[in-house]
């Protein structure tokens, strides 16, 4: 681990994902920045109710952006030998993520299906994989693509399909203010490009 960063690099500091949690900005500097943001939005960062808010925000990032510290290959390292040749599905996995445009939450469910080629995963690992990519700044299209591609790379099944349904706070609490709109995205890899395989999956996640 690099010990300290040169002062001049602070202004051009890379985002936390490139540094894997070793961001050169000190926590004190980030707390000060957050105090400035509280003042910018029109409140008083020195009033009692807001004194601890910057520290709380930083603590909440550990969960919300914890995905930058996780690698899909760590989550997917345990395989179970299995003779299963049939489709495996984990559906309606709840997730919370943060949109990279407005830093607003988007949340909903993700369903994952794969067609094993010789080995299967412990089923919890599919839900862990969702956490790896959801707990970052995201757009919904990239979220499903990253889940599908990491499964294809690591597990090497015949195919993978991921479907995500989510509500975006950035279109409900602000902007166009549509509270009921649900965004649906999918990533389709390998054998799931065949209509009958895809339909079997879609039937299973109904």
Ligand X SMILES: Nc1nc2c(ncn2[C@@H]2O[C@H](COP(=O)(O)OP(=O)(O)OP(=O)(O)O)[C@@H](O)[C@H]2O)c(=O)[nH]1
CA angle 38, 42, 45 (to 5 degrees): 40
Of positions 101, 174, 178, 193, contacts Zn ion by CB under 5 A = 101
Among residues 143 and 160, whose Cβ is nearest to ligand X?
Answer: 143
How would DSSP label each residue in 64-128? Answer: HTGGGG--HHHHT--EEE----S-EEEEEEEEEEEETTT--EEEEEEEEEEE-SSEEE-THHHHH
Contact set for ligand X, span 56-115 (CB under 6 A)? 99, 101
Q: Are 90 and 130 in contact (CB under 8 A)?
A: no
Q: Which of 27, 175, 184, 204 binds ligand X (CB under 6 A)?
A: 175
Question: Which segment (18-26, 35-43, 164-172, 197-205) binds ligand X by CB under 6 A?
Answer: 164-172
Within 106-145, which residues bind ligand X (CB under 6 A)? 139-141
| DSSP SS3 for 168 | strand
State the CB neighbour count (10 A cutoff) for residue 44: 11
How many whole angstroms separate alpha carbon 88 and alpha carbon 46?
A: 54
Q: Which of 89, 170, 202, 205 binds ligand X (CB under 6 A)?
A: 170
> Which of these segments, 17-25, 26-34, 101-109, 135-143, binds Zn ion (CB under 5 A)?
101-109
- Applying CB under 5 A, which part among 21-29, 96-104, 116-124, 142-150 lies near Zn ion? 96-104
Residues comprising the binding site for Zn(2+)? 99, 102, 170
Residues comprising the binding site? 99, 102, 170
List contacts with Zn ion (CB under 5 A): 99, 101-102, 170
């Amino acid at each position: 681990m690099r010990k300290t960063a040169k002062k001049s690099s602070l202004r051009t500091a890379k985002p936390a994902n490139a540094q894997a949690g070793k961001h050169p900005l000190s926590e004190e500097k980030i707390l000060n920045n957050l105090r400035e943001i509280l003042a910018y939005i029109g409140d008083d960062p020195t009033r009692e109710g807001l004194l601890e808010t910057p520290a709380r925000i930083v603590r909440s990032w550990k969960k919300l952006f914890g995905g930058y510290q996780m690698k899909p290959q760590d989550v997917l390292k345990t395989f179970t030998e299995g003779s299963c040749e049939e489709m495996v599905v984990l559906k309606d996995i709840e997730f919370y993520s943060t949109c990279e445009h407005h830093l607003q939450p988007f949340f909903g469910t993700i369903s994952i299906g794969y067609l094993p080629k010789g080995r299967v995963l412990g089923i919890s690992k599919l839900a862990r994989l969702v956490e790896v990519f959801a707990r970052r700044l995201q757009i919904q299209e990239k979220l499903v693509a990253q889940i599908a591609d990491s499964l294809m790379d690591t597990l090497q099944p015949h195919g993978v399909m991921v479907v995500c349904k989510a509500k975006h706070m950035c279109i409900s609490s602000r902007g166009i203010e549509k509270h009921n709109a649900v965004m649906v995205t999918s990533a389709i890899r390998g054998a799931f490009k065949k209509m009958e395989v895809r339909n079997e999956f879609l039937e299973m996640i109904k």
